[in-house]
Structures are given as structure tokens and as C-alpha cells.
Amino acid sequence: MTKQNNRTELSSLGEFGLINLIAKSVKVHNRSTIKGIGDDAAVIDNKSQMTVITTDMLLENVHFDLSFTPLKHLGYKAIVVNLSDIYAMNAIPQQVLVSIAVSNRFSLEAIEEIYSGINLACSQYKVDLAGGDTNSSASGLVLSITAIGQAASEDIVYRNQAKLQDLICVTGDLGAAYLGLQLLTREKRIFLENPEIQPDITGYDYLLERQLKPEARKDIIELLKQTGIRPTSMIDISDGLASELLHLCTQSRTGCQILENRIPIDMKTAELAEEFNINPVTCALNGGEDYELLFTVHPDDKEKIKTLKDVHIIGSITESSKGYKMLDQQKQEIDLKALGWDAFIKKGV
Amino acid sequence: MTKQNNRTELSSLGEFGLINLIAKSVKVHNRSTIKGIGDDAAVIDNKSQMTVITTDMLLENVHFDLSFTPLKHLGYKAIVVNLSDIYAMNAIPQQVLVSIAVSNRFSLEAIEEIYSGINLACSQYKVDLAGGDTNSSASGLVLSITAIGQAASEDIVYRNQAKLQDLICVTGDLGAAYLGLQLLTREKRIFLENPEIQPDITGYDYLLERQLKPEARKDIIELLKQTGIRPTSMIDISDGLASELLHLCTQSRTGCQILENRIPIDMKTAELAEEFNINPVTCALNGGEDYELLFTVHPDDKEKIKTLKDVHIIGSITESSKGYKMLDQQKQEIDLKALGWDAFIKKGV
């Protein structure tokens, strides 16, 4: 193996060398993982449970910018955003498969950094890296993650079962990840224009962490179970509250009304939004990458929900003829529109 | 929607428009597919069966060259190569997830071509497209497929259970897909040097089909089941016979001896190999992309195996101390080495 300045060329390992190296760093957490890396496919034992599967692809310069994304964080985030989809079904993630493509721009050490983040997320959320695929790419880095979860069939929550008068709830706070990205993008631009100027990101750790190292709301899924609350519908917020709410309502054939002043926004988000001259509510509605949960519950669960930390009731489900509305501070009705993250618009493709 | 010369820009649909369009073309084949496209994750019902999962990423100019790969064939092949991994576990594929990334070089019609191939493969093999992810890419086309299969736990065949004296079997014939690729690459080079010269690929339909539209050996898995033969170990041949045989033997901690004159090679493969001045056996050993099955059976199954169409006994499992050997036509022992497809060597990454 050729080593130079701690850079190991991938060509010195070959594909199987790389696979072996990845396999060695993997720990198995779930008894249902019968066979992980090392055969044609992973094998998962299901004791009459439902299997829940989701997949997401992350591309360099589309979903992430390596000039300000540490590789370890990238690996961590790639796993977390997929687990978030599994939790949004009210299921428990058990396995992930990771496919990766890299060009010769990346050394072995770079790949190890990515997998250290992947493994950290796996151990944090007790999921098993059970397989994948390694490839060379002509230019950028590509990650494709598949997450597999399990749930009893009666526990699974779909996004199309919201009912009239159900309460609309969101977890955590919204808009921070979007502003974290704006901050990083601004500092990068300033740096490129004048490399002498040092990035000024002090005081915004929370927003940066929301962008670079998001967490999936495993805690909320556990809390709801403990409290005996089964949401009627649920979705995770990856493209902004407005877009997700519209998904949930169109699929459930309902309308909705939310209150602007109930949308949870962190103080730091509001501060930086002002600095950028953006309405923080716009960040919450359309920013995306929050990975919080949006769900509806039966009105009878209102008192129970109110006791839950980090869960906010922001409105209720209405008849579909009422449309998708937000009442602003002056009680004016505003139409909610899905202006969320859309790869094909944003990148002008 | 902007249409010009039958080219619809993806920007005119947006991401969700594209997803809806893909979802509309999908038919569900399996009762275990409780929920396909349209939620955070697919839901699969398992009646105490094992779930088997595999994933593969295909990148433009690494795994395929669009200058001679029809998009429909690409979609078909992307699914088939993943199903091949599921069959190689002696499991039955049930669902696939498809993630795709495209640049603005691709029109909607191009994406529809790819999905027509994907849907054709799904209907051919009775699997359900149950989810996925659509993305924009900075340059090339990327496909990432996850295939999910089921099997009773006692039916699953791993690659690490070959036993001393087991017979080594391969299906179909080997080396054709590799030569098909060589042919296409040669004709492309000639065309680029002199566009007046028309490609000369007549008479090699079989080799081109093996390269551009391979099939997974579903028929063999069914045949083995009908005949009551359970392989002791199995792997699919994607990287060449030598590489796969070494995987199987190292994981089973055995050696092997195969006979050169037993390796199944089609007449057309031999013909074109001669034209290219390559030994056809080298194509079979190291060419790859055959998607045939390599498996071992107990010696007691010999007579049964001999009656099976398209299954060839090529040697037997030996003690690990004997190494990995091939007896050539002169009964000389040759060491088998894994020189198979290796993205990191081939592409010089």
C-alpha cells in the first residue's frame, strides 16, 4: 500500500480491499441482521413484522459542498436523513446499505472519514451497516443510502390518514438548517473574493450544527409510544414545513389551517434571518433540511400532547375545500404554497 | 409544460411532477408490497420470511457509455443486475427502489425511456418498483438500485458454505458480455476517427445482447427448486468466473480445481475472441458482466444436475491447501487469479 503524507491511493487497495476495510469497521446491533456485508445481499429476519424501506441519493455540489462540509459530518448526515424517513413511518430503523462513488481526488483517508461518520450515526441510532456498493466516479462524490426499518403493521403511520379536526404538530424548531447553509455560503463567497478575511461564524454554532450534523427524531417516536399517542399521519420535514404540510393534506384529501405565531423558531434563527433580511417564517416554511417531524393527532390527544417536550401544536386539519391556510399575526389568511427545496428549480436544471 | 421537438425540460415538471409521472407508470405485482411510492418509505409485509437486500450504483462513463447504450436497455440492465444478486441468494426478488440523478442534458423523454426499461424488467421478473429518489446531477447520469427479496430461512444459500468434494457448476455461457463491450468500444473508436465508416456489428447480436440486455437466471433458481437441488453455496458472476470462484472458496475456506475444457463458451464468443486475438477462456475467467450463476452442490446431486439444461459441472471443491487451480487442455495446473473487473484499476483511479 503506497502511503504519502498520510494519503493512501485507492488504487493501491482495489475494490475488494476497500470493501474489506469498510466491513472491518462495522459493528452489528440488531438480531434481525442475519447477514450483513459479504454476500450478494443482506439477509434480514422478520418475525411477522413489516419491513419499511427508504432510499436517498446525495451528490456533491447538488446536496453538499465539500468546501465547508467535513467528510465525517457528511457521512453522519447521509445516514441520519434516511433514518428520519423511517422514523416518519413510526418504524424503528435496523439496517442501512451504503453505496458510494468517488474519484481519484479522494484518498483512502477521505473515505475513512466518511465511514467514520457513517459508523458513528449507526452506533448512535443502533442500526447496522449491512451492505452496499463501492464505485469509482468520473468526478464528484456520490452517496446513495438505503435504510430498512421494522414495525408492527398496526404501528405504521402513513402520510395519507389525517382526519378532519386532527391537530397539526411539529417537533423542535424550524428554519435553522437553512440559515446555517446561507451563513456557510456567504462566508465561502467572502473567502473566495478575499482569502485574507477569516470566516465570521462565531455565535451561530447551533445553526451550523443543524445544517452540518442534523439528528433524526428517534426521541419523539419513543416519547409518543411511551405516552400512548399514535399519530394519525406523519411525515418528516426535509423540504420545508409548507411543502410537507401540502403533501400530507393532499394525500389525506384535507385542508389545513396553521397559526404563524405557533411555528417554532429558535432565537438564533430569528437573529440571523434579520441579518440576512429574510422573514424567519419564510425560512421555516420553505427552508428545508430540518429533519423534524410533522404529524397529526386526534383532538382527544390534545392534553397529552401539550405535556410533551419539544412538540408544538401549530394548527388543525380542515375540509379540503378550505384549502391550505396560515393565519398571520393580524389574523389574515395567507395561502400556503410549496416553495420548498426543489433540485430541478434550484439548480436551474 | 414546455414541449419542443418532443423534448420536455425537466425544469417544467419539478421534482414532484417527475415523481408523480414515474409513480403513474408503476404496477404492483406482489401482495407483500403494502406501500410503494408515495410515503417516506416503502412497507413490506413479511410472513416470517427472511428479507434479502442488495444495492448497486451505476455511473455514466464508469459502468455504461451512453454513446452506445440505449436508455431503455440501461434501465432494464440496472434492474436485472440487482435481481441477479437476489437470485444468487436463492431468494425471490419482490421489490426494487430506484434512485436517479440526471443533469439538464437529459430531457423528460430520456428519463421516460430509462423508466420504460425499468418497468419492463419489473414486469418481466414480477417485482415492484416501490420507491426511490430523484435528483439533479452536476454532469453525468447516476442510477442506484436497491432490490429486496424474500426466502424461507432454510432456502437461503450463502457463498461461504461450499464443502470438500462439492461439484462446481456454472450456468449458461461466459465471456460473451465482455466481448460485446469490446466490439462496441472498437466500433465507437472507429466511428470517432472516421464518421463516414458505418459500424460493423452484424452477426454478433448474441454478444451485444449479452452486454446490453442481460437477463438474471430466475429460470435456474426455479429449476433447482423443482428438481429438489439446494446448492451448498452460490454467487452470481458479475466480475468474471475466476474472481467469483475465489470469493466463494476464500469465504468457504476451501480450494478448487476446475477443468478449462468444461468452461462453457459460446461459438460466437470464441469467434470474436479470435478476431480480437484474445483467448476466449481469458474472457470467461476475467471478463465479467455475465450475470450467470456459479454454485456448488453435494456430490450426491451429480446425476440430477447432469439432466439440467444450461447447467455445467466444471470442477470440484478441494482442500484449501490445494489452492485455486485450473487444469488446461494438456492437464497442466494453472493458478487461478482474480483479475476481474475492478473499477479502481480499470479506470486508473
**Nearest residue in chain A measured CA to CA from B88:** A40
pLDDT band at A87 (very low <50, low <70, confident <90, very high): very high
Ranges of beta strands (E only) in A155-228 are: 167-171
- Distance between B330 CA and the closest CA of chain A, angstroms: 33
Q: Which residues of A touch B62 (CB under 8 A)?
A: 101, 135-138
The per-residue b/e assignment along B229-242, b for 16 or more CB within 10 angstroms, e otherwise, is bbbbbbbbbbbbbb
**What's residue A166's pLDDT?**
98
Q: First and final CA of chain B: distance in angstroms? A: 41
Nearest residue of chain A to residue B40 (CA atoms): A85
| A55 contacts on B by Cβ (under 8 Å) | 97, 99, 131-133, 144, 146
Determine the longest span between alpha carbons in chain B, in angstroms.
68
| pLDDT value for B341 | 43
Nearest residue of chain B to residue A86 (CA atoms): B41
What is the predicted pLDDT for the residue at A312?
Answer: 98
Tens of pLDDT, residue by residue over B221-267, are: 999 999 999 999 999 999 899 999 999 999 999 999 999 999 999 99
Amino acid A38: pLDDT = 61
In terms of CA atoms, which chain B residue is nearest residue A135? B343
Q: Which CATH superfamily is domain B3-155 in?
A: PurM-like, N-terminal domain (3.30.1330.10)
Q: Pairing between strand B92-102 and B142-151?
A: antiparallel
pLDDT of residue B22: 67
Å between A214 CA and nearest CA of chain B: 18
CA angle A312, A317, A323 (to 5 degrees): 120
User: What's the mean pLDDT when you consider all of chain A?
Assistant: 88
Interface test with B, best of A146, A148, A244 (most B CBs within 10 A): A146
Query: What is the rounded average pLDDT of the residues A30-56?
Result: 74
Mean pLDDT of the B300-316 span:
97
Count CB pairs under 8 A between chains A and B: 253
Laid out side by side, the sheet with A128-136 consists of A128-136, A92-102, A142-151, A50-59, B42-45, B33-35
Please tell me the distance in Å from B15's CA to the nearest CA on chain A.
6
- How far B37 CA sits from the closest chain A CA (Å)? 10
pLDDT of residue A229: 97
Complex ipTM more than 0.90, yes or no: no
Task: State the pLDDT at residue B202.
Answer: 79
Question: A-chain residues within 8 Å CB-CB of B41?
Answer: 52-54, 85-86, 88-89, 91, 147, 149
What is the structure's pLDDT at B349? 24
Tens of pLDDT, residues A211-233:
999 999 999 999 999 999 999 99
Residue B69 pLDDT grade (very low, low, confident, very high; cuts 50, 70, 90): very high
Query: A272 pLDDT band (50/70/90 cuts)?
Result: very high
**Amino acid at residue number A341:** W
pLDDT in tens, A127-138: 988 888 888 888
CATH of A167-346, one of 3.40.50.720, 3.10.290.10, 3.90.650.10, 3.30.70.20: 3.90.650.10
Nearest CA in chain A to B97: A55
Tell me which of A44-48, A292-296, B69-73, B157-161 is least confident: A44-48
How would CATH label the architecture of A3-154?
Answer: 2-Layer Sandwich (3.30)
pLDDT band at B37; cut points 50, 70, 90: low
Task: Please state which of the ranges A180-184, A200-204, B72-76, B179-183 shows the lowest mean pLDDT.
Answer: A200-204
Of A82-91, B109-118, B189-198, minimum mean pLDDT range: B189-198
Closest CA–CA distance from residue B304 to any residue of chain A (Å)? 26
pLDDT at site A343: 34
Cβ of A47 within 8 Å of Cβ of B48? The answer is yes
Q: Mean pLDDT lowest for which of A236-245, A331-340, B232-241, B291-300?
A: A331-340
Q: How far is CA B157 from CA A302, B87, B169, B234, in A?
A: 51, 9, 14, 6
* Nearest chain B residue to A34, by CA: B50
Q: Which of B45, B135, B159 sits opposite A50 (nearest CB)?
A: B45
The distance between the two most distant Cα atoms of chain A, rounded to a whole number of Å, is 68
- Nearest neighbour of A43 by CB, restricted to B59, B88, B156: B156
Q: Which of A53, A88, A104 sits opposite B131 (nearest CB)?
A: A53
The whole-number pLDDT of residue A107 equals 85
Question: Shortest Cα distance from A279 to chain B (angstroms)?
Answer: 25
Domain range list for chain B: 3-155, 167-346
Q: Across the interface, do A89 and B135 touch by the CB < 8 Å criterion?
A: no
Task: Dig out the grid coordinates for A82 from the structure.
Answer: 434516511
What pLDDT shows up at residue A130?
85
Which of residues B346 and B140 earns the better pLDDT score?
B140
Q: Which residues of B touch A22 (CB under 8 A)?
A: none
